[in-house]
A and B are shown apart, each in its own frame.
Chain A
Amino acid sequence: MVFQVHLDNFEGPLDLLLHLIKKNKMDICSIAISRVTDEYLAAIDEMKNLNLEIVGEFLVMAATLIHIKSRMLLPDLKEGEESEEEEADPGEDLVLRLKEYEFFKKAAETLGNCSLLGRDMFVNPVKHPEDPVDDEWDFSDVGLFELMRVCRELWGKCDEEAFHQVAVETLSVSQRIEEICLLLAVKEIVEVTQLFPERPSPYQIIVTFLAILELVRVRRISFMQKVQFGPIEIVRIT
């Protein structure tokens, strides 16, 4: 039997299962799920034939389906076996998940059909040619995510040899705060990366970051960024 599946169209096991149920023109219910189990397993075999790496999620779903089917085939052992009753029915559970997933799939399609900015609608690309330093800065855009990116980049530069140093590093956060303040007394704007040496030690990164965050907290400095993914700069608040 040739079983044709367009694998790249499936976002995951739930998507595949939903597709099989819809293809057989069934409603989402336990019976429908157990009926398409064979087709689901055939789809997984197909993936194997194509030498695709089958993601764990697909296998977990296969196991769940077999579990549901076996429960349906076995005689009802409800009498006397209380523990069995307490266990949630995996079929019902899956029905709920499928329904929820179906809803979001529809919602996603509805969203995708909206007229999107940058795809269907465009705005006048306003450019301000003046010197950006004189512009009013927008501080709000530097979020946690951006800061984490800088931290990660610095971590990449981190000199691993530094782990072998035996001497105790005496740099403290308050000391670092003073140094940064001194630097900012001379220069109003400093790029965050300039506060670190070429190959900083993990200790230096941590202490300096704590110092920066503390200065932001007490509103001595603020962050700014000219372009997305551009350098993050700190500026003295006067």
Chain B
Amino acid sequence: MDTTELTAVVEALIFASEKPLKLGQIAALIDLGVPRAAEIVGRIQKKFGKSPSHGFFLAEVADGFQFRTRPELAFWIKKLQKARPLRLSSAALEILAIIAYRQPLTRASVEQIRGVDCGGTLKNLLEKKLIRIAGKKEAPGRPLLYATTDVFLEVFGLRNLEELPDLKQIDQLFSEK
């Protein structure tokens, strides 16, 4: 297959995949090495960048690739879909932020930072699969440890945890305001 054909194949694979498709998976599917797959994906990325003339773009999330509609067009998609859009309360966002930056940690640690009971929201986040139980802490009572999931990365559009905005960036962002 020549590059044009391969590009079309990979494009179709990413389009039809339920989850973000990882480079390794793409390479295995087209029976070629990861560098070649990366090159093909790079072409598609150029073709489907975030451009005002396109409705969707190729996003790199949770170590994979996925076609997504542009955030600017959310209003129109919501008109189409009857399902309630994702909503995260400020409590949920705070807890997610704490877990994302300090994982793995216990419910008590989360509550220590927030100064308020977090049981209900934690349960909710577990049900949404944004966080998971990552084990038990070797401490009295062996409390459960929580960590973020791949779903978290997908929802927040992060390639991996290193992509979380770092502490300095956050401070800068707020001093600019």
Contacts and interface: CB of A to CB of B under 8 A. Distances in A.
Interface of A: 11-15, 55, 57, 61, 97, 100-101, 103-112, 114-124, 126, 143-145, 228-229
8 contacts: A11-B90, A57-B116, A117-B61, A118-B155, A120-B74, A126-B17, A143-B132, A143-B133
A101 B115 contact: yes
**Which 3 interchain pairs have the tightest Cβ spacing?**
A12-B116, A118-B86, A115-B71
Interface string B14-34: 011110000000000000000
A107 B170 contact: yes
Contacts of B94: 11, 104-105, 108
Given A121-B71, A123-B68, A111 B157 contact: no
Interface string B66-109: 11111100100100010001111011011011101100000000
A122 B97 contact: no
Contacts of A143: 132-133
B11 interface: no
A121 B50 CA distance: 12
A112 B132 contact: no
Interface residues of B, number: 48
A122 B68 contact: yes
A104 B85 contact: no
A118 B129 CA distance: 14
B155 A11 contact: no
B119 to A, nearest CB: 13
A152 B153 CA distance: 30
Nearest to B87: A119
Contacts of B90: 11, 108, 112
Nearest to A229: B127
Interface string B126-137: 110100110000
A116 B155 contact: yes
Of A13, A101, A120, A145, the most chain B CB neighbours within 10 A belong to A120
A155 B86 CA distance: 32
Contacts of A100: 113
B137 to A, nearest CB: 15
B154 interface: yes
Contact of A107 (B91, B129, B165): B165
A110 B59 CA distance: 19
Given A110-B170, A110-B173, A121 B157 contact: yes
A126 B20 CA distance: 12
Contacts of B167: 103
B150 to A, nearest CB: 10
B39 interface: no
A235 B68 CA distance: 35
B139 to A, nearest CB: 18
B44 to A, nearest CB: 15
B114 A14 contact: yes
A12 B111 CA distance: 10
A109 B93 contact: yes
A124 B18 CA distance: 8
A68 B71 CA distance: 47
A110 B90 CA distance: 11
Given A107-B97, A111-B100, A121 B154 contact: no
A190 B135 CA distance: 28
Given A108-B96, A145-B126, A121 B74 contact: yes
B85 A118 contact: yes
Given A107-B100, A111-B93, 19 more contacts: A11-B90, A11-B116, A13-B115, A14-B114, A14-B116, A57-B115, A106-B171, A106-B174, A108-B90, A109-B93, A111-B96, A116-B86, A116-B156, A119-B74, A119-B85, A121-B71, A121-B74, A123-B67, A145-B133
